[in-house]
Structure 1
Amino acid sequence: MSLIIGRDVPWNATWSGEDRHEIRPCRFAGNRLAIWSPFALGSGKPLFAKPHTVRQRKSISEMRCTVCGERTEFGNRWWWPRGSWRNDWWVSTEAPVHFACAELARHACPVLRKAGHDPIPFPEGEQVLFALVGGEDTDRDFGVKVNGRKVVGHLKLAWRAPWFLQEGS
């Protein structure tokens, strides 16, 4: 059986053939040094719980659906409100999805099924943050030598006062 990207495997998932890393400038991180992986969609086996570093940054910077990889537009921009509070900001690495893609993901993804949440319309007023990584943990986790530099890992979306958390408070 062949796996179809966007139906069986999310566009932003890493494939085993892409699972190597370097440090390079990344246009989706403002040309800062960032963790980089090669593009080889469909090469090897999908690593569902491991978003591809460059595609994740592209998803957030260009508001692309993490399931199909196409751009989302307001009116059809949905979101799984997963994240946490950090210094008065709600922060998440979750990029938007189309409604149909969210429905597909809810049925296909065991993590989303278990959580039992519905996607919500994408909140307005987001800011994009650069998640800086570095040190021994980064060297070990990505198999690269950062040499003390701070490099961008993933991008994050942040809201100062997200409406979806304030309702009913």
Structure 2
Amino acid sequence: MTAAPAPKLEIGVDVPWVTSWSAEQVIGVGPCPSVDGALAVGQAERPGQGEPLYPRNHLFRQRRSVREMLCPMCGEPTADGDRWTQTGRWTTARDIRAKGLGVWLPPEFADDRRLLDAGAIAPLHRACAERALIRCPHLKGMDDTRLKAFPGAWIVAALSVEARPSHALSNVPQRAVAAVTFLQLIGVPEQYGLNITTRLGN
């Protein structure tokens, strides 16, 4: 007797849109539109091929989700009033600066300024966040599973690694450059007209 094939996983329902798949290999460093043409680590785009790697965000889709406020679960734009974070943690400007991300904060922010550190996870639609909480063992295991409304203003910080451009020839010395991997999102409550998506290109 032949076993029935496993049901096909649906992106946006069973697997978050931002999740990497095993067929999506890292492909090197080059200019990327997700960061205004700055150098970034690239990854093949083959969603749905192979196995989902739930703990790993796809590099390009993660950067797009933060820059374009796309829901990490379904990949569709989120709107003011329907942006929610499951993993965001309240913190202060002092703590953000202590993490080495102070360069992204406006200098006038006092150390005790309250901020919402969302990490590398863009806000989700409420319906998507509730579905993810039901389906994802990692989320269910968190100490705090309450959804938090994401502020209407935010700051995007680039996380980089030292890398060599992918076009480098093995017999030609190439200097290491900073290449963006992920973007980190910091919510700024009680602020209007901020939305600092600093130009990351040259």
Same fold (TM over 0.5): yes
Instruction: Determine if contact 2:86/2:147 at 8 Å carries over to the other structure.
Output: yes
Residue number among 134, 148, 156 corresponding to 2:184 in the alignment: 156
Instruction: Report the TM-score, using the length of structure 2 for normalisation.
Output: 0.69
Residue number among 6, 14, 22 corresponding to 1:8 in the alignment: 14
SS state of the match for residue 68, structure 1?
coil
Shift of 1:55: 0.1
User: Is residue 126 from structure 1 mapped to residue 154 from structure 2 by the alignment?
Assistant: yes
Residue number among 68, 73, 86 corresponding to 2:96 in the alignment: 86
Instruction: Indicate the residue corresponding to 1:66 in structure 2.
Output: 72
- Partner amino acid for 1:114? G
Shift of 1:135: 5.8
Quick one: percent identity of the two aligned structures? 35
Instruction: Determine if contact 2:29/2:163 at 8 Å carries over to the other structure.
Output: no
Alpha carbons of structure 1 residues 12 and 147: separation in structure 2 relative to 1, 3 Å? farther
How many matched pairs?
Answer: 153
Instruction: Indicate the residue corresponding to 1:50 in structure 2.
Output: 56
Q: Which has the higher helix share?
A: 1
SS state of the match for residue 23, structure 2?
helix
Instruction: Indicate the residue corresponding to 2:129 in structure 1.
Output: 102
Deviations 1:74-131 (A, max 9, x none): 1211112435632156542110100010001101111110114121111122111111
Shift of 1:134: 1.6
Q: Distance in 1 between matches of 2:161 and 2:41?
A: 9
> Structure 1 residue runs of 4+, over 4 Å off?
none
Shift of 1:57: 0.2
Instruction: Determine if contact 2:80/2:152 at 8 Å carries over to the other structure.
Output: no
Instruction: Report the TM-score, using the length of structure 1 for normalisation.
Output: 0.82
Superposed CA RMSD: 2.1
My pick for the range that moved more, 22-31 or 99-108, is 22-31
In our comparison, the structure showing a higher alpha carbon Rg is: 2
Q: Distance in 2 between matches of 1:3 and 1:102?
A: 18
Instruction: Indicate the residue corresponding to 2:46 in structure 1.
Output: 40
Q: Distance in 2 between matches of 1:129 and 1:11?
A: 22
Instruction: Determine if contact 2:88/2:116 at 8 Å carries over to the other structure.
Output: no
User: Is residue 117 from structure 1 mapped to residue 127 from structure 2 by the alignment?
Assistant: no
SS state of the match for residue 146, structure 2?
coil
Gaps of 5+ in 2: 1-6, 98-110, 165-173, 191-202
Deviations 1:58-81 (A, max 9, x none): 000000000000000012111124
